Amino acid sequence: MTQKELLYVEDAIGHECNIISICNETINLLEDEYLVSFLKKELKKHENTKEELLKLLEVKCNEWSIING
């Protein structure tokens, strides 16, 4: 993974964290159960995306450790 690609992934993780935070805050403010349900589904999608990006970084970190270990 190039340095540019690594920065992109790190930036994407930051964006997912922001979206997760916004979803959580919005869920706490809403009274409409349909909207709460919708946002909880969206929240789960973003949490999954964040986890996948973190796994990608972990794999690349482990590969780097093996190569440079």
Structural domain boundaries in the chain? 3-68
Whole-angstrom distance, CA of residue 21 vs CA of residue 34: 19
pLDDT at 68: 75
For the chain, 69 residues long, give each residue's pLDDT as a single digit of tens: 788 988 999 999 999 999 999 999 999 999 999 999 999 999 999 999 999 999 999 888 777 767 776
User: Does the predicted TM-score (pTM) go above 0.95?
Assistant: no
Q: Which two tokens stand for residue 26?
A: 């919005």
**Which of 69, 59, 62, 52 is CA-nearest to residue 13?**
52
Whole-angstrom distance, CA of residue 16 vs CA of residue 11: 9
pLDDT at 19: 98
pLDDT at 69: 65
Q: Which residues contact 17 (CB under 8 A, 6 or more apart)?
A: 50
